Structure 1
């Protein structure tokens, strides 16, 4: 029953009937794991040949720049799918690291089983296509958003562009000189903008760490 509820809460299984879900559960081999707080669920660069679902608990996603010059951390809570778009395509490796912040239960479905379920249930296939299409469309549109002219706007724009979710707490680890470089502004302007936002209690920063309690509050 717990597995049934977990699948029912996943976007990929939305719209399937109870009989459909019971049939999938009866015909599919699932891999279950319990991850202790502080342990890694998936590593950046790890092969992604299974669909992994966090069915219980909380975790954080850590995404690094290609040169590991900066990173951003975000909270994720169950039920949550770990990069299902990485199961398919040219590069089938995780691009983020997921770490349990509270004890997590996960369930994984092999790629071959995903293909079989997709063949047998058109609703599942459409959910998968729609999910990956939505990710692609959001990523494409980000490239065309106008870049703000002022330093504060550029900093907020830069941070939001690198977030998975438009809400919730975020932690960005980046040196001020790198932030100035990435936003095309001067170091002094970056410092003044960060101080102003800190005075407004929108964020805190020190020693290359920017803590944002509510990203949606940044404008």
Structure 2
């Protein structure tokens, strides 16, 4: 129980709650603990999101696909992390990304009825919940209104960053050159030249259908 108490204090949903509040939540809530090994799938794209899943320990790889699965982007996430809280309810309560354990990892899940009970009883928890979901919605909307840059390099950076959960860390974009050129509205030759120039500076590495970026924050 002490370990769970310490873990919950690190989760944004539970921040601001008193020690007594947390102990009360732990005593009244049904937590479902799960352990995953290397390459185990934690959550899969299209799977119903009927519980709030929280990564307590370990690292995961997340993959998001285009609607037609014509390209994908991979990212890496460290615990603690709430897995797609914004998909817990609404019109389409399904995961839109696949989350895979890199090594050993542990999660805890909270059911809908328990989450609603905690939200009803603790206003700080309810405020945290609203703040997290609102921030995700606001960031998603702001991306839609950012103007597309004029030059090819900036367009590539814009495309990469607009498809990421986080603006930092390693990313892997799996996409054919012709598809990337189509998405950017420029020629395949211009895309190839820009990628070669960025690779020469050590900003990324690309081979057939794969663009690997060690630190996306270095791309400007």
Return the TM-score normalized by structure 2.
Answer: 0.99
Shift of 1:173: 0.3
Aligned to 2:87, the other structure's residue is in SS state helix
Give me the whole-angstrom Cα distance separating, in 2, the residues matched to 1:51 and 1:7. Answer: 13
| Counterpart residue number, 1:179 | 180
User: What RMSD over aligned residues (CA atoms) do the two structures have, in Å?
Assistant: 0.5
Give me the whole-angstrom Cα distance separating, in 1, the residues matched to 2:218 and 2:153. Answer: 13
1:78 matched to 2:79: yes
| Counterpart residue number, 1:115 | 116
| Counterpart residue number, 2:69 | 68
> How many matched pairs?
219
Shift of 1:90: 0.9
Mark the runs of 5 or more structure 1 residues left unpaired by the alignment: none
Give me the whole-angstrom Cα distance separating, in 2, the residues matched to 1:84 and 1:198. Answer: 36
Deviations 1:173-208 (A, max 9, x none): 000000000000100000000000000000000010
| Counterpart residue number, 2:134 | 133
Deviations 1:139-197 (A, max 9, x none): 11111111101111111100100000000000010000000000001000000000000
Provide runs of 4+ in structure 1 moved above 2 Å: none
Aligned to 1:53, the other structure's residue is in SS state strand
Shift of 1:5: 1.3
| Counterpart residue number, 1:45 | 46
| Counterpart residue number, 1:13 | 14
Mark the runs of 5 or more structure 2 residues left unpaired by the alignment: none
Return the TM-score normalized by structure 1.
Answer: 0.99
| Counterpart residue number, 1:156 | 157
Aligned to 1:52, the other structure's residue is in SS state strand
